[in-house]
């Protein structure tokens, strides 16, 4: 069975600073994908970044980067130059490729960006 662990219930960061949100995962599959989503108070889950288990380089998407350490089974999200609009819940999720395209989510981390 897959499991995603996000140990930080909440994080605070000042505007323009970088912040790292932690995510560890557990799976017996060799082929899987890791995702980060942002969920503002409106409820919609917004896709941020994806890392495949066989990707050798860490994924980057604008201000978002994923620090993928396969041996440690961690997939931390790094947000550079935080903005006030980054305040939201952030979820780490995983999909394995032995089944269909369903996602297993962690419990999330609430990020608050202060001026």
Binding site for other proteins (CB under 8 A): 4, 33, 35, 37, 42-47, 50, 52, 91, 93, 95, 99-108
Q: Closest approach of Cβ 15 to other proteins, in Å?
A: 26
Euclidean distance between CA atoms 31 and 24, whole angstroms: 16
* Residue 73 or 105 with smaller CB distance to other proteins: 105
* Residue 16 or 50 with smaller CB distance to other proteins: 50
3-state class (DSSP) for residue 28: coil
Euclidean distance between CA atoms 37 and 31, whole angstroms: 20
Cβ atoms of 110 and 12 within 8 Å: the answer is: no
* Residue 45 or 78 with smaller CB distance to other proteins: 45
Euclidean distance between CA atoms 57 and 91, whole angstroms: 21
Phi, psi of 8 (to 5 degrees): -100, 105
Q: Closest approach of Cβ 88 to other proteins, in Å?
A: 13
Q: Closest approach of Cβ 56 to other proteins, in Å?
A: 17
Q: Closest approach of Cβ 77 to other proteins, in Å?
A: 14
């Amino acid at each position: 069975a897959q499991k995603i662990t996000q140990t930080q219930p909440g994080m605070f960061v000042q505007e323009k600073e970088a912040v790292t949100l932690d995510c560890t995962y557990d799976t017996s599959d060799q082929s899987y994908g890791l995702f980060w989503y942002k969920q503002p108070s409106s409820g919609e889950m917004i896709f941020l970044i994806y890392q495949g288990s066989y990707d050798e380089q860490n994924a980057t998407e604008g201000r978002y980067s994923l620090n993928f350490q396969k041996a440690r089974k961690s997939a931390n999200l790094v947000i550079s130059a935080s903005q006030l609009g980054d305040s939201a819940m952030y979820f780490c999720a995983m999909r394995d490729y032995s089944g269909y395209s369903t996602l297993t989510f962690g419990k999330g981390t609430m990020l608050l960006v202060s001026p």
